[in-house]
A = this chain, B = another copy of it.
């Protein structure tokens, strides 16, 4: 099975309450562009990620609002920030890393919410039936090229409106010289 690759740069999913605290009661998520998964979009708003050691500016907020604020960074980012976020599925935030979000003079201290996202493949229910995969199944993907690799522990994520796409972070992408929109192959079920 061939699958398109989406490279996830560090970003923030935010709950409405946290957003209003940072940007003001009257602020709303400002649409910048659509993302590949239907309904997801990139916002004009960005925040600064801050820790005791360092900070990273211009980190994009993605919409729509989530129930809980979630910060996704790479291992490389975690070294810059001096923190140790766990490898997690999106939404699985219990006991994850603490981090501070800043916008202008507003500082929001999160006791948890920072993760490194698991490699995962978005798949519609229709595709999962047709192709023979199931939710939370672990597969491997083969990436070709000068720094070719087989990435393991890739989770299949099935939801009705998902478009078929592998999501990897910038560390995986840069290690294998992958660009957004490149194609990989799912080579094996586990």
Asked whether, in the complex, the Cβ of B76 is within 8 Å of the Cβ of A170, the reply is: yes
Contacting A87 at CB < 8 Å: which of B87, B119, B146, B170? B146
Q: Which of A38-46, A63-71, A105-113, A171-179 contacts B (4 or more CB under 8 A)?
A: A171-179
The count of residues in chain A whose C-beta lies closer than 8 Å to any C-beta of chain B is 22
Is A148 engaged at the interface, CB distance under 8 Å to the other chain?
yes
Q: Once the chains are docked, how many angstroms separate the CA of A159 from the CA of B149?
A: 26
Asked whether, in the complex, the Cβ of B74 is within 8 Å of the Cβ of A147, the reply is: no
Provide the residues of chain B in CB contact with A74, threshold 8 Å.
Answer: 174
Using a CB–CB cutoff of 8 Å, the interface residues on chain A facing chain B are 74-76, 79, 87, 119, 146-153, 169-172, 174-177
A-B contact list, 30 entries, CB within 8 Å:
A74-B174, A75-B174, A75-B175, A76-B76, A76-B170, A76-B171, A76-B174, A87-B146, A87-B147, A119-B147, A146-B153, A147-B152, A147-B153, A147-B172, A148-B152, A148-B153, A149-B149, A149-B150, A149-B151, A149-B152, A150-B150, A150-B152, A169-B175, A171-B171, A171-B174, A171-B175, A172-B175, A174-B175, A175-B175, A175-B176
